[in-house]
Structure 1
């Protein structure tokens, strides 16, 4: 596990019931975990190759209530990935999804074959036999009274022979066994994906599984989690050691700061590096909230001249990212070394805190799987703990983003801060196309603030929500080109900006937001009239794919 650095893992308190999700490589495994957490049940995602001994150890505390086997992009005939045998020997319910259904069938004595009729996309599944999992869950009924589910399929192989003890639970015209159940052992499996939003009753199905079939307690609630997390931080850090946190102003680091400060008070020191590429008044807002209202100790470092100086003449977006990331580490390390050396009332910091969240842990493989560890290294860590000789503290590593936001509210952070749209680590450096100049950043900051203000102030009458709430991410991009315009009696030759607003549930795909024309007209008029140097505003109507959400 992460050789060469001390790692503080926040193990979940033993009193929580838990669900184990074994990941076979599906792109949507995280969605399974999110749906389980939405039912207020704690769960963990681990690679499928952890082994039976590991599974038994995971279950040894008596709080494992069920297992879910995820889907996979692979065929059961192409790979040897199977569920550890212990999964089917623990006496707890098991739910297989897509590939998880196929490996369950093969391991328990059924047959799986390649299908001539592959199913990808929307399908309608007929429920059979009133099983406990699907009972009374349906989207509509046929004239004959059969319950039907609208689902999302993604498979080529299919189960052709049931394992002993199983019965058919669901079917489609091209897949006679689209679901199967052994209710005596509480083993269930579905060929479709209940975790995706394209399966409308999927959340209800998963909630039925974890709450009723597994009997897990719905006690995973952020309001209750605060005291638990505070106690855990105090136990890890002790009564005298100090903690250093790199504060970016984003949601994760702000919530981490609030949580750690709640636990250890002024033994937390935050370092806030202002690289000159933040949003309008963002630095002041962060200081007002974390230092002013929470009374946490924050060191603000104005490094804008350093960053913008190093970025001069640099056009390539990846080169800009590397420069910004490298300089941030250098500035942060310099401040950390001062604090580590103690003095000025400090005993000397021994912990480095980071706002790592659960998707980061999953994507980095959790350091448990020989395969998963090669996926990618987590961007937050970046080698800093071992370089600084500090122990790592990650108080949010159990939480998904929506849970981090809920925790922030429970800690008293304002909703406006907690529900801010995502902002890239390099800041405006990658929202200015080409060279990032101070002049460009100043223009972009003001234009972006106008766009955000109008989105917040414009309410959609159909939903009663602001357009800021109705968009997942909205921002302004500075284009390093000039266009001719007319203002008053004179000709102008000024810069162009593009507005970008998208709607998405997972940021893997996204649709451009169909903002009202009146809103766009108002934003355009204000930017052109209030931001001297910009005379043209465009709106980006590209979805992802083929475009990405950010321009760089």
Structure 2
């Protein structure tokens, strides 16, 4: 990439890639590097600015990320965020300690230096998102206070050294003026030019895939959702008919999904699609399993084995046994990656995703994941640039492990059938209310809880179904949706009246954090 960039050093925050995404929204190119990157690696990116992310560690701990403090001497406009502020304070002669009163969630910040370009056109009183247990108590020489809460330092600066830092997270949606602050950093302090667009991503990604695959073949794990469909179109643009898309019925798809997806994608995307019914194979391996991590890993392993088998079959049918189906294309997104494993910094693992943490350590196929640094809304924008149909791009997210992570406890054919019916009712009524495209995700969850009910003057003892609907921009944070009572009433009434085996419906009003969007 020849474009000048903003380099983000990842100290392990769950929100690191969200910083990159906010910058790309301003049509400025950004790249995430591990905090351990050398000065040479940083300079190779032609940086015009540097951002130090948050992180889960304490700067004074022996196991603090081993970043080179010389990054603060590069003379680049530098913005520290959360842990980044503490890193700057600690390494430039200030003092950081464990805070007597921690700050998590919403907080009110007062800007005390409105003359700084970083706070230009931003109100003096800010509603922000905090997530820290340490605080700066002595500022480094040459630094002054720029913002504060009632409890702690919230901002510091040394304009002569071109270093600014905030204790809160401007990249998170809950910080109302966060984007404005980042824009000030980009355009007033780094003098960035808004000349990077999704079209740049498409062109560079297609070229990289073409070079990587060469004359080889690839198969794509196609689910019919936004992510895998956009990934498939990108790879198809790069290598054409040498891509075969494989859609697997893993036994935990939505109602009639196996047939709907085949019909939709063959007609609208013109992809070479092979459908494989492996439902019995998956369900037999999942029988008796209740641990959510084990479920995800089983599904990941089975997917890879199915794709290995399909790759061999493709070669046999083509008659070209000298060729090699070496590549597996997946629609992995960054929220999957960052929650599954530490990829670019010492971030905390939240859960394994079947197409990331659930993959076996040894597998025959090599991965192509063209979207793994992107968020859902960015993928949709790229899909629009690829001129893909709106009804494919506007589908709500559906987890790779399917209904397996929405059935708590053991997965059985009977319980899958119950949830398929309940989920179909939820989605249908959300669409009937005109809310489907306004909501990030809406679905049903089958709980391993039975309760007593009464229907037709008779006692029932049946399962409980939870309904979940959330608003989100990117899947990293989410707020529960206050669905209209009439919609909830209709959903509940239909589920308990139309599905024998479910006699109680509850509504999940948990945000992320502290919960996750999916229940497992």
State TM-score, norm by structure 2. Answer: 0.85
Q: Structure 2 CA distance, aligned partners of 1:409 and 1:417?
A: 10
Within the alignment, does 1:39 sit opposite 2:37 as a pair?
Answer: no
Contact 1:194–1:202, Cα closer than 8 Å, also in 2: yes
- The 5-angstrom pairing of residues 21-40 of structure 1 reads 21-40=8-27
The residue number in structure 1 matching 2:146 is: 169
Corresponding residue number in structure 2 for 1:70? 53
CA distance in 1, matches of 2:466, 2:420: 13
Retained in 2: the 8 A contact 1:247–1:253?
Answer: yes
SS of residue in 2 equivalent to 1:387: coil
SS at match of 1:409: helix
1: CA distance, partners of 2:66 / 2:288: 53
Report the 3-state secondary structure (helix = DSSP H, G, I; strand = E; otherwise coil) of the residue aligned with 2:108: strand
CA pair 473-532 structure 1, distance change in 2 beyond 3 A: closer
Task: Provide Cα deviations, 1:78-115, integer angstroms capped at 9, x if missing partner.
Answer: 2454642442343321111233223223433x422437
Q: Distance in 1 between matches of 2:17 and 2:45?
A: 24
Among 130, 133, 136, which residue is 1:158 paired with? 136
Equivalent position of 2:500 in the other structure:
533
Instruction: Tell me if the contact between 2:291 and 2:409 (Cα under 8 Å) persists in the aligned partners.
Output: yes
- In the alignment, does 2:257 pair up with 1:258? no
Give distance in 1, aligned partners of 2:83 and 2:305: 45
Pairing partner for 1:102 from 68, 82, 86 = 86
Give 1:518 deviation, angstroms: 0.9
2:439 is aligned, of 448, 467, 470, to 470
CA-to-aligned-CA distance 1:6-30 (integer Å, 9 cap, x gap)? xxxxxxxx13332111122334333
Q: 1:374 to 1:155 in 2, by over 3 A?
A: closer
SS in 2 for 1:133: helix
Residue 103 of structure 2 is matched in structure 1 by 120
Query: Which one of 229, 245, 248 corresponds to residue 270 of structure 1?
Result: 245
Higher Rg: 1
Contiguous gaps of at least 5 residues in structure 2 = none
Asked if the contact 1:117–1:174 (Cα under 8 Å) also holds between the matched residues in 2, the reply is: no
Q: Take 1:115 and 1:397, find their aligned partners in 2: how far apart are those partners?
A: 35
Instruction: Indicate the larger mover: 65-74 or 221-230.
Output: 221-230
CA offsets 1:207-228 (integer angstroms, 9 cap, x no match): 2112331122323332453233
In 1: Cα distance, 2:447 partner to 2:353 partner? 29
Counterparts of 1:44-443 in structure 2 under 5 Å? 44-50=31-37, 54-60=38-44, 62=46, 64-79=47-62, 80-81=64-65, 83-108=67-92, 110-114=93-97, 118=101, 120-121=103-104, 122-128=107-113, 130-138=115-123, 147-153=124-130, 154-164=132-142, 166-172=143-149, 174-175=151-152, 178-238=154-214, 240-312=215-287, 317=292, 320-340=295-315, 343-344=318-319, 347-362=323-338, 364-366=341-343, 379-380=354-355, 387-388=363-364, 390-443=365-418
Change over 3 Å in CA distance of 1:412–1:133 after alignment to 2: same
CA distance in 1, matches of 2:329, 2:254: 24
Taking a change above 3 Å as real, the CA distance of residues 248 and 200 of structure 1, as seen in their structure-2 partners, is same
Given that 1:124 and 1:149 are in contact with CA atoms closer than 8 Å, whether structure 2 keeps it comes out as yes
Alpha-carbon shift at residue 540 of structure 1 (Å): 2.7
Q: CA deviation at 1:301?
A: 0.8
Deviation sequence 1:419-449 (CA, Å, 0-9, x none): 4333333322343344433344334323311
- CA positional deviation for 1:274: 0.7
The offset of 1:184, in angstroms, is: 3.5
Structure 1 distance, partners of 2:313, 2:148, is 65
In the alignment, is the contact (CA less than 8 A) between 2:56 and 2:348 conserved in 1?
no
Q: Look up the match of 1:11.
A: none
Q: Secondary structure at the match of 1:405?
A: helix
- Identify the residue that residue 10 of structure 1 maps to in structure 2: none
CA offsets 1:245-267 (integer angstroms, 9 cap, x no match): 22233332221111111222211
TM-score, normalisation: structure 1: 0.81
Matched residue count: 511
